[in-house]
């Protein structure tokens, strides 16, 4: 297929002449950028905040925060003090020590960021939970991680089954009129009287930093553990790929409950000393454009679903705003349609730069950075210091233009350290030859550009959020009417995929629309809104292997009118 490449539009970029020779780039070169290179004292929160508070960036705005009721800004010096206070509060009232898991389950607010940084300053491992999670999802994660401390709001506390979580010792509540006791602590009032000076806990580069739970095609969500060493790549990709410069005002739209919202919503921008805009509340096209206008956003990192929704809102909306501050736009999470790139050229007069990476990889790996030609529809090329390849199921590298497993040679700085309490799962990601196997299928063209083709497994990407079908199926069969359930991702023009459930009912239940709605609500309330099936189809029976495993690929073939393939393992 012949594609028209888009050349760089403007700018003087930090990563200029890119060629394959950069594969030999040595990450050690980046170490000099950190104060631990001289002092030997490591802590990501120090590098992201405190270090800048001691330089000319002291009074530079680190955080601009806005939602429906708040509009605030904090300099690096103030961020240092606020995160110090949070560290002191956690230490004094939560007994937080190095290695303890501190989970944070709340909507975006400045306090969320103080809490994350404060916990990291104590050497704790932070577990951010997306605010839309319901009881089942919250419990799985707090239980598996044996979280000792939770920071949440009185409203969200209702979704935390505190009595079923023996490891959970202290709960900090962020809200008004909190009734305190040994277990429940009023975070805001403690912050008010806390000391703005704190002792940072120095750690090893391989010590735990953050735990992001993510889904696969089987089993419960797994805790992907990242360590402080990841800062090397957070920093360098913020320079190379986000192209952050001293005067930039940067906005990442992702919630810190997902890896994009931490690696590039917290670490990347602050490690590079950039002014970072955080906006709370729900998505609305007008509000988004207004954010760009009001803050003068120059670098913007978002996701295909959001771009498609903006595109759907029409170009007239764009014209109402002054978006001239924008100079660099990026995308992650799902395939970025060439059509969206063309739309971006039309309305912003800028290219949208796709980036590919995963929760497990901790930072960007395959990207379109500003200085290179973009082939719309391609994820770009591996960044310097990263070797990517397409391999077959035996681990052999395939030549260009052959589809296979997208794999990365082990050894990039932000690679996950392990899967929490599940070393076999961690090992299962690797193939002989030191290949990390992503679970995506792709091909590489003759120019070294990578093209995403799909997931090898049944993982669903809906509106950029990763959902494991097994998790949804498990929740579905908890419903009294449901005997069996099989869940697939169904292609959708706006959301990438939507969740579709095939359901076989128990005897005595009627296949009504009311029941469908009840089932949808059941998953929504038990798991999360984004995990609830948008479509439900009743079937007398579901296709299963003789060992009883639901054959999702057959469900998908039914749905898409495709050949069902080999059915030799199917029962009957």
Positions touching ligand PRX (CB under 6 A) are 214, 259-260, 332-335, 354-359, 379, 438-440, 452, 455, 461, 466
Residue with Cβ nearer ligand PRX (503 or 528): 528
- What Å distances lie between residue 136 and 157, 220, 472, 507, CA to CA? 13, 11, 11, 27
Residue with Cβ nearer ligand PRX (142 or 352): 352
Residue with Cβ nearer ligand PRX (233 or 355): 355
CA distance 496 to 502: 19
For residue 186, which phi and psi values (nearest 5 degrees)? -80, 105
Min dist CB 265 to ligand PRX, Å, is 11
Q: Are strands 328-332 and 352-356 parallel, antiparallel or unpaired?
A: parallel
Residue with Cβ nearer ligand PRX (217 or 325): 217
Min dist CB 363 to ligand PRX, Å, is 9
Residue with Cβ nearer ligand PRX (317 or 403): 403
Min dist CB 442 to ligand PRX, Å, is 9
Q: Cα 220–545–441 angle (5° rounding)?
A: 60
Residue with Cβ nearer ligand PRX (333 or 526): 333
- What Å distances lie between residue 441 and 133, 405, 451, 540, 556, CA to CA? 29, 5, 9, 33, 17
What b/e readout covers 54-65, taking b as 16+ CB neighbours within 10 angstroms?
A: eeebeebbbbbb
**Other CB atoms within 10 Å distance of the CB of residue 110:** 18
Helix (H, G, I), strand (E, B) or coil at 495: coil
Min dist CB 224 to ligand PRX, Å, is 8
CA distance 227 to 452: 28
Min dist CB 453 to ligand PRX, Å, is 9
CA distance 84 to 198: 5
Residue with Cβ nearer ligand PRX (105 or 436): 436
Min dist CB 466 to ligand PRX, Å, is 4
Min dist CB 166 to ligand PRX, Å, is 30
Min dist CB 376 to ligand PRX, Å, is 12
Min dist CB 49 to ligand PRX, Å, is 24
Q: Which long-range contacts (CB under 8 A, 24 or more apart) does 31-40 make?
A: 31/232, 33/235, 34/231, 34/232, 34/235, 36/205
Min dist CB 350 to ligand PRX, Å, is 17
- What Å distances lie between residue 258 and 252, 310, 352, 458, 502, CA to CA? 12, 21, 21, 20, 28
Asked if residue 216 lies in contact with residue 412, where contact means CB atoms within 8 angstroms, the answer is no
> Among candidates 239, 254, 412, which has minimal Cα distance to 331?
254
Residue with Cβ nearer ligand PRX (75 or 414): 414
CA distance 13 to 422: 41
Residue with Cβ nearer ligand PRX (466 or 495): 466
Residue with Cβ nearer ligand PRX (441 or 511): 441
For the chain, the first-to-last Cα distance in angstroms comes to 43
Q: Which residues pair with 488 in a beta bridge?
A: 500
> Among candidates 231, 212, 233, which has minimal Cα distance to 223?
212
């Amino acid at each position: 297929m012949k594609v028209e490449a888009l050349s760089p539009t403007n700018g003087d970029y930090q990563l200029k002449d890119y060629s394959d020779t950069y594969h030999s780039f040595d990450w050690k070169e980046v170490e000099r950028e950190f104060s631990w290179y001289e002092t030997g004292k490591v802590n990501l929160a120090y590098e992201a905040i405190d270090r800048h508070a001691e330089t000319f960036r002291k009074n530079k705005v680190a955080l601009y925060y806005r939602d429906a009721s708040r509009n605030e800004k904090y300099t690096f010096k103030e961020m240092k003090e606020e995160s110090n206070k949070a560290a002191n509060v956690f230490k004094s009232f939560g007994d937080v020590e190095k290695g303890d898991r501190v989970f944070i389950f709340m909507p975006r607010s400045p306090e969320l960021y103080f809490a994350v940084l404060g916990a990291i300053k104590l050497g704790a491992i932070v577990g951010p939970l997306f605010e839309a999670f319901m009881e089942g999802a919250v419990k799985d994660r707090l239980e598996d991680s044996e979280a000792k401390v939770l920071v949440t709001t009185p409203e969200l506390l209702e979704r935390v089954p505190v009595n079923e979580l023996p490891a959970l010792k202290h709960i900090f509540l962020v809200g008004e009129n909190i009734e305190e006791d040994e277990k429940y602590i009023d975070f805001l009032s403690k912050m008010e009287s806390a000391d703005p000076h704190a002792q940072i806990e120095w750690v090893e580069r391989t010590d735990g930093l953050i735990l992001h739970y993510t889904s696969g095609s089987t089993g419960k969500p797994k805790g992907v553990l990242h360590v402080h060493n990841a800062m090397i790549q957070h920093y360098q990709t913020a320079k190379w790929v986000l192209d952050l410069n001293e005067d930039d005002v940067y906005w990442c739209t992702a919630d810190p409950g997902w890896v994009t919202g931490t690696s590039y919503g917290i670490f990347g921008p602050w490690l590079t000393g950039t002014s970072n805009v955080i906006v709370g509340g729900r998505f609305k096209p007008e509000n988004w454009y207004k954010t760009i206008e009001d803050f003068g956003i120059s670098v913007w990192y978002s996701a295909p679903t959001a771009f498609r929704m903006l595109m759907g809102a029409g170009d007239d909306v764009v014209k109402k705003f002054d978006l001239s501050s924008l100079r660099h736009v990026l995308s992650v999470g799902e395939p970025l349609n060439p059509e969206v790139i063309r739309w971006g050229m039309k309305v912003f007069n800028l290219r949208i730069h796709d980036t590919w990476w995963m929760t497990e990889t901790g930072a960007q790996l395959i990207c379109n950075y500003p200085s290179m030609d973009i082939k719309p529809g391609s994820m770009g090329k591996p960044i310097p210091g990263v070797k990517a390849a397409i391999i077959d199921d035996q681990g052999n590298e395939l030549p260009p233009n052959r589809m296979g497993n997208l794999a990365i040679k082990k050894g990039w700085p932000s690679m996950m350290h392990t899967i929490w309490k599940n070393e076999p799962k961690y090992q299962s990601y690797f193939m002989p030859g030191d290949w990390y196997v992503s679970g995506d299928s792709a091909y590489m063209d003759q120019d070294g550009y990578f093209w995403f083709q799909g997931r090898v497994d049944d993982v669903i990407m809906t509106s950029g959020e990763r959902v494991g079908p097994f998790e949804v199926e498990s929740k579905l069969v908890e419903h009294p009417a449901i005997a069996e359930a099989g869940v697939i991702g169904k292609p959708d023009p706006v959301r990438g995929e939507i969740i579709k459930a095939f359901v076989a009912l128990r005897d005595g239940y009627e296949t009504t629309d009311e029941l469908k709605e009840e089932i949808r609500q059941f998953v929504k309330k038990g798991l999360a809104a984004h995990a609830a099936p948008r479509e439900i189809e009743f079937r007398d029976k579901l296709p299963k292997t003789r060992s009883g495993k639901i054959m999702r690929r057959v469900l998908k073939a039914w749905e898409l009118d495709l050949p069902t393939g080999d059915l030799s393992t199917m029962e009957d």
